[in-house]
Structure 1
Amino acid sequence: MNICVFLSAADLDERYTRPAREFAELLGKGGHTLVWGGSDVGLMKVVADGVAAAGGKLVGISVEFLHTKARAAADEMVVAKDLAERKALLLGRSDAVVIMVGGTGTLDEATEILELKKHGLTDKPVVLLNTDGFYDGLKQQFQRMEAEGFLPVPLTDLVFFAEDGVGALAFLEESAGIR
């Protein structure tokens, strides 16, 4: 599968990098392709390194204003003109989406894919990888949105919340009929 991963390019604590590295290793060993923001810094680098070391393929989608941080050793690197084009290319090149820890850019990417799913414009499986409880508050907010009628479809139709990489990948592979 081509798995798009939305995540931070920041240098983060081991409590985030260790699970990210473990998930990346699972992707690579499973023969999956990482489709990601293309950066060779921070958590993006950790995941790309892990996938590559485990034998997976790397497809980066960078953006013009960040092209100097793009990974030179990717199997393929595309440079988009802006963030909107980058998101479209990331989603267009992927079979599934995993949302890992990140800041406002990651949150923007996450809400866009969920909005597309809500309107039936994509049926790609989406996993929110809740490393170290990072997204507990967001999960609670989504549950409130559902309970109070803001979501026209069940939350479980939009996103799967996984507590670890094993659960995330198992859900994706099951969704694709691999397991």
Structure 2
Amino acid sequence: MNICVFCSAADLDDRYTVPAREFAQLIGKGGHTLVWGGSDTGLMKVMADGVQQAGGRLVGISVEFLAGKARANADEMVITRDLAERKAQLLARADAVVIMVGGTGTLDEATEILELKKHNLHDKPVVLLNTAGFYDGLKQQFQRMEAEGFLPIPLTELVFFAEEAVGALSYLEERAGLQG
């Protein structure tokens, strides 16, 4: 399975890097491919290192203005013109999407993926990995959107909230089995 992961390129502390490394190792040991933003910095690097060390493949999708930060030893690296093309390529190459901790770029990617799913423009499973409660507020906001009628589909069909790496990957593997 090609698992697209949206996450930060910032250097973060252990409460975020340790669970990310665990998730990366599960991806690699499971024989899956990491499809990610291609950066060799921060949490993106932690994910790529972990997947690669555990025997998984790496497909990076970077963008011209960040090409200097792209990982040199990925199995495949694509450089896009702009962020819109990058997001389209990330989704096109993915069988599933996992949203990890990140800043505005990650939030932008997450909301676009969810909006496309809401409109049936893709049916890939989407997991929001809520490491250390990072997305508690966002989860609450999504629940409010659902309760007040802003979502045309049930929240549970839009996104799965996982508190830990094992639950995230189990959900994805179960969904892949249902689709395959």
Q: Normalization by structure 1: what TM-score?
A: 0.99
Residue of structure 2 equivalent to 1:123: 123
Tell me how far apart the structure 2 counterparts of residues 157 and 6 of structure 1 sit (CA, whole Å).
19
Q: How many Å apart are 1:164 and its aligned residue?
A: 0.4
Match of 2:177, SS state, is coil
* 1:108 shift after superposition: 0.4
In structure 1, the partner of 2:104 is: 104
CA distance in 1, matches of 2:109, 2:156: 19
Amino acid corresponding to residue 110 of structure 1 in structure 2: A
- How much does 1:155 deviate? 0.3
Separation in structure 1 between the aligned mates of residue 120 and residue 60 of structure 2, nearest angstrom: 26
* Cα distance in structure 1, aligned partners of 2:70 and 2:129: 24
Output the TM-score relative to the length of structure 2.
0.98
Residues 97-141 of structure 1 deviation map (CA, whole Å, 9 limit, x = unaligned): 000000000000000110011001110000000000000000000
Cα distance in 2 for residues equivalent to 1:106 and 1:49: 20
* Superposition misfits of 4+ residues, deviation over 6 angstroms: none
SS of match in other structure, 1:177: helix
Structure 2 portions without partners, runs of 5+:
none
Partner of residue 87, structure 2: 87
Amino acid at match of 1:12: L
Q: Per-residue deviation at 1:21?
A: 0.1
Q: CA RMSD in A?
A: 1.0
The one-letter amino acid of 1:141's match is Q
* Post-superposition offset of 1:175: 0.2
Q: 1:18 offset after TM fit, Å?
A: 0.1
- How many Å apart are 1:24 and its aligned residue? 0.1
The match for 1:30 is: 30
Distance 1:109 1:63 in 2: 14
Aligned residues: 179
